Amino acid sequence: MQLDRILQSQGFGSRKQCRAMIRHGQVAIDNATCADPFAEFAPEGLHFSVDGEPWQYREHAYVMLHKPQGYECSRAPKHHPSIFSLLPEPLVGREVQPVGRLDEDTTGLLLLTDDGQFIHALTSPKRKVPKVYAVSTKHPVDDAQLATLRRGVQLHDEPAPIAAANCEQIAERLIHLTLIEGKYHQVKRMVAAAGNRVEALRRIAIGGLTLPDDLAEGEWRWLEPADLERLWQAADA
């Protein structure tokens, strides 16, 4: 594949912009500057750098982001900064999308990709991919509330009660709630229906993939092959 096409596919701009970058000496292959935009390379596994920043060719982008509070999962945010402001321009340029959204006041694990099939697999209600939330409550959680969440609560505009796939008490005012659906404000509405109130909400796992302890709020990283395998297995279960 020609170098200008490789850069374009990785989100570095139009072919014209990529050609200009290459001709200006901004691109290196294996630490050697390449000024020929039409030079041919095998893209799979190719390591290159742009303005000294290392990159690797990836047919699709799969990343995780530790979403902070006060960010919207939108390219056109209305009231708060966009999560896309936390990502490097090439990822934004290749139009990665969130795999399910989090409210602006919800923090935690957010996946993003440019693979539509991957998004569908993890968000389709038919796949029932589990998502685990750490829920901090206003009032102490009692056994009756836990039982109600496990049994199911009736939410407004929903035809049938909705139950948590799992509900575990971690501390007096902290529970881990596992859901296999994605209704509007579902965790907050379920906890309210059980007689309590959500004070803070953080997603800590999706399909067996847990938010890493060493990934700080606002930081992102590539998903590893083992991460992707775990997620696909959850979607195919």
Q: What is the CATH number of the domain that holds 223?
A: 3.30.70.580
* Tokens read off for 206: 């999706």
Q: What is the pairing mode between strands 198-206 and 107-113?
A: parallel
**Cα 22 from chain centre:** 31
Report how far residue 11's alpha carbon sits from residue 50's, in angstroms, rounded to the nearest whole number: 12
Taking residue 190's Cβ as centre, other Cβ atoms within 10 Å add up to 25
Last residue of a domain, one of 56, 81, 99: 56
116 & 67 share domain: yes
Q: What is the CATH number of the domain that holds 21?
A: 3.10.290.10
Specify the pLDDT at position 126.
87
165 & 185 share domain: yes
**47 bridge partner residues:** 56
119 & 213 share domain: yes
Backbone φ, ψ for residue 112 (5° rounding): -135, 145
113 & 214 share domain: yes
**Single pTM value for the model:** 0.92
224 & 110 share domain: yes
Taking residue 118's Cβ as centre, other Cβ atoms within 10 Å add up to 19
51 & 114 share domain: no
42 & 138 share domain: no
Taking residue 145's Cβ as centre, other Cβ atoms within 10 Å add up to 21
70 & 169 share domain: no
196 & 220 share domain: no
With beta carbons less than 8 A apart as the criterion, state whether 168 and 175 touch.
yes
- Catalytic residues, by residue number, are 103
Range of the domain at 144: 131-206
Instruction: Indicate the helix (H) or strand (E) that contains 221.
Output: strand 220-222
| pLDDT tens for the chain, residues 1 to 237 | 999 999 999 999 999 999 999 999 999 998 899 999 999 999 999 999 999 999 999 999 999 999 999 999 989 888 899 999 999 999 999 999 999 899 999 999 999 999 999 999 999 888 989 999 999 999 999 999 999 999 999 898 888 899 999 999 999 999 999 999 888 889 999 999 999 999 999 999 999 899 999 999 999 999 999 999 999 998 887
119 & 11 share domain: no
93 & 159 share domain: no
Q: Please tell me whether residue 61 adopts helix, strand or coil conformation.
A: coil
Q: How many domains does the chain have?
A: 3
214 & 121 share domain: yes
